[in-house]
Amino acid sequence: MKRKMLDLNDNDNILESPQRRSFFKKSFGAAATAAAAATMVSPIAQAVASGGVAAPHPSVGDKTVLYVNGKVYQGGKYKQAWAEAFAIRGNVFTKVGTTKEILKLRTPETLVVDLRGHTVLPGLIDDHMHPEMAVECYNNVRVDELSTTWDEFKVLVKKELDEHPERPWVFGANLDYLWDDGSNIKMFGKPSHKKILDELIPDKPAYFWECSGHAALVNSKALEVCGITKDTPDPVGGHYVRDENGEPTGVLRELAAHIVWEKWLGTLPGPKELGEKQLKPIFSYLNSYGLTSVSEVWSREMYGQAYKYLDDNDDLSVRLTVYATDVVDFATPEMQKLADKYIMNHRDYDGKNVKIVGVKYILDGAAAGQTAVVVEPYEGTNYHGPWRNTPEQYREGLHKYDAMGLTVHAHCAGDGAARMVLDAVEELRKKPGNNADKLQHRVAHTSMIHPDDVQRFAKLNVHAEFSPVFWYDMAATRVIEQDIGKERVQKYMFPVKPIIDSGAPVSIGTDWMVTPVDPWAAIETIVTRRGCGIKEGPTMNAEEYAISLETALWLYTQAGADSQKRSHEIGSITQGKYADFVVLNQNIFEVPITDVHKTKVLSTVLGGRDVYLSSRVKEIIDLGELTGDYENKMTFASVGRNF
């Protein structure tokens, strides 16, 4: 799996800017400033108690906030439903209607936000992503395999050593390709050998991923702390590259890389630091795209602790659904033990806004490169592709976890992997007392489906989660065509519309940070089946498989809510649901579909609370006296922004 750079610089969240803080000072007095500034970006208000009493909006006390003069797309099942305004009290929508209706709720105590005609959508839900991978790339030495020079690398390493003397390891990604014969790493013009790291990092273990995610370069200290010498045998499924004397060169492949990586994982900081310093910026970045709920689908135990810590402290800015990495994906006894503990005691990690709901398997590889398991062989070969986790491992897990009430999620790039899942669930359903209907075991990516299997998702109640990027025609499509042929590209890849029409449970998950997280690009391209902004030319079978903009939005909202088993709580702008919504700079229903990818989020609100406010919202107006004579003014007093 390719690891991509993450640029948090395009997160222009101004909620903690000095300007914002001074606004709070004026509005709420010095005593409230620290608390307000601290809570604005973070805590999630208490879940609505069964009696319907909502917790106070942290920025405005327990006042009702009225959002008026907007174009409010309520969402829900397929059909469009538009309103102009809504009221929020605590963390829920209390009324949705016309501006006139909502303004009737005004009292001297209510606050009013003038949306000035801007479009509002329900908060977006990304049902497959990897925030944990983002933490590891972002919070360590970030190297770009295409551009970082040796001199730049030296500076980055020095900076890491100076800034983080407390860290037991130096960890980073990504290096350009490494070579078994010691040839030069292209980006550095330096040999693929531990000695280049030893020169910079003699005293601490150091680990750098190769851009493929299938290999790594480590220094001598890392080999030493892991007890790897010339006498250490290669693990099954990997190897320590060695020189002519049998001495490990520091280049590690597959499971050998995993063994050392897992040793590093064991040194991650505790839940407080991991949560507050490393995860929160990632979630804030996600908020900047309008995301309010996400699924982390390859989770490790130490992150489970950090999610729980943040949630217990009302300090999560997304709702999280979590699938744990199965024990089979770890190479060391320490991590296998932790994975087992995480899965067996999963309820201990649940909170108000975090739910550990399942376990993840990775059945095959990627669409390009003949690493997907396919029903019919690759073009001109008898080859069907390699399994990663085997069908036997998957079936065993499916039966075991189904009985425990856990959903089994399976990465399937090829139609052969997806068919194996469908067959296994069909088999499971014959078992008395199985939970397959309730749990809706899942196929991740749904990138290639054999035509004979399209209707089986609905029939077996298997969830199809669609991942963007490969569902439109682009340069990589030509590479895939070489492997599976033009006909399979057009007929087998992302049959989104027929699967939705069949009534199968569905959702969208981007697979970030393997691929980009941007929901607006995903929404445009699932409708056009062409690249962003491209108006003509080939599509990936748009005639049969493209869906409407309404359906794309439904996939990103209500379908995601259904998938996360929160249908009644999130997914649409509906009275009684959590007030999760986004305000946009353009009405995506009015602009040409090929401009949808240009959409910018102005504000993201989670449970009634701002979690993202764009620097585009320049005008932060002063509330003044809350009981002042604003009722007759054309410009309504705002809780902090005026769109």
Is the Cβ of residue 511 or residue 610 nearer to Zn ion in the bound state? Answer: 511
If phi over 0 gives left and psi between -120 and 50 gives alpha, with beta otherwise, what is residue 279? alpha
Residue range at the interface with Zn ion (CB under 5 A); choices 231-239, 354-362, 511-519, 617-625: 511-519
In whole angstroms, the minimum distance from the beta carbon of 367 to Zn ion comes to 13
In whole angstroms, the minimum distance from the beta carbon of 578 to Zn ion comes to 26
In whole angstroms, the minimum distance from the beta carbon of 472 to Zn ion comes to 19
In whole angstroms, the minimum distance from the beta carbon of 413 to Zn ion comes to 10
Residue range at the interface with Zn ion (CB under 5 A); choices 3-11, 247-255, 505-513, 562-570: 505-513
Strands 85-89 and 82-83: unpaired
- Using CB atoms within 10 Å of the CB of residue 246, give its burial: 0 to 12 exposed, 13 to 18 middle, 19+ buried: exposed
Q: Site mask, Zn ion, residues 18-37, x = CB under 5 A? A: --------------------
Q: Tell me the residue type at 629.
A: D
In whole angstroms, the minimum distance from the beta carbon of 502 to Zn ion comes to 24
- The phi, psi pair for 165, rounded to 5°, reads -65, -20
Is the Cβ of residue 201 or residue 373 nearer to Zn ion in the bound state? Answer: 373
Q: What is the DSSP letter of 249?
A: E
Tokens of 307: 């999610």
What helix, strand, coil percent values describe the chain, rounded to 5?
A: 35, 20, 45
Pair 287, 13: CB distance under 8 Å: yes
Is the Cβ of residue 241 or residue 421 nearer to Zn ion in the bound state? Answer: 421
In whole angstroms, the minimum distance from the beta carbon of 554 to Zn ion comes to 22
If phi over 0 gives left and psi between -120 and 50 gives alpha, with beta otherwise, what is residue 576? left
Applying the rule CB under 5 A, the residues between 574 and 613 that interact with Zn ion are none
Residue range at the interface with Zn ion (CB under 5 A); choices 260-268, 288-296, 341-349, 507-515: 507-515
Pair 123, 570: CB distance under 8 Å: yes
In whole angstroms, the minimum distance from the beta carbon of 128 to Zn ion comes to 6
The 3-state DSSP class for residue 156 equals helix
In whole angstroms, the minimum distance from the beta carbon of 442 to Zn ion comes to 12
If phi over 0 gives left and psi between -120 and 50 gives alpha, with beta otherwise, what is residue 116? left
Q: Site mask, Zn ion, residues 465-504, x = CB under 5 A? A: ----------------------------------------
326 makes contact with Zn ion (CB under 5 A): no
Residue range at the interface with Zn ion (CB under 5 A); choices 4-12, 117-125, 506-514, 599-607: 506-514
Residue range at the interface with Zn ion (CB under 5 A); choices 52-60, 148-156, 508-516, 565-573: 508-516
Residue nearest to Zn ion (CB): 511
For the chain, first and last CA: distance in Å? 41
Is the Cβ of residue 413 or residue 540 nearer to Zn ion in the bound state? Answer: 413
In whole angstroms, the minimum distance from the beta carbon of 517 to Zn ion comes to 12
Of 531, 547, 548, 549, the closest CA to residue 539 belongs to 531
DSSP assignment of 506-542: EEE---BTTS---HHHHHHHHHHSB-TT--SS--SSH
Is the Cβ of residue 351 or residue 509 nearer to Zn ion in the bound state? Answer: 509
Is the Cβ of residue 326 or residue 511 nearer to Zn ion in the bound state? Answer: 511
In whole angstroms, the minimum distance from the beta carbon of 511 to Zn ion comes to 4
Ranges of H-type helices in 531-596: 542-545, 549-556, 558-563
In whole angstroms, the minimum distance from the beta carbon of 297 to Zn ion comes to 6
Is the Cβ of residue 315 or residue 511 nearer to Zn ion in the bound state? Answer: 511
Is the Cβ of residue 321 or residue 614 nearer to Zn ion in the bound state? Answer: 321
Is the Cβ of residue 187 or residue 412 nearer to Zn ion in the bound state? Answer: 412
DSSP assignment of 261-301: HHHHHTT---HHHIIIIIIHHHHHHHHTTTEEEEEEEEE-H
If phi over 0 gives left and psi between -120 and 50 gives alpha, with beta otherwise, what is residue 387? beta
Is the Cβ of residue 132 or residue 176 nearer to Zn ion in the bound state? Answer: 132
562 makes contact with Zn ion (CB under 5 A): no
Of 316, 322, 310, the closest CA to residue 286 belongs to 316
Applying the rule CB under 5 A, the residues between 209 and 248 that interact with Zn ion are none
511 makes contact with Zn ion (CB under 5 A): yes
Q: Which residues of 379-401 are buried (b: 16+ CB within 10 A; e: fewer)?
A: eeeeebbebbbebebbbebbeeb
**Rounded to 10 degrees, what is the CA torsion of 598, 603, 605, 608?**
-150
Per CB under 5 A, residues contacting Zn ion are 511
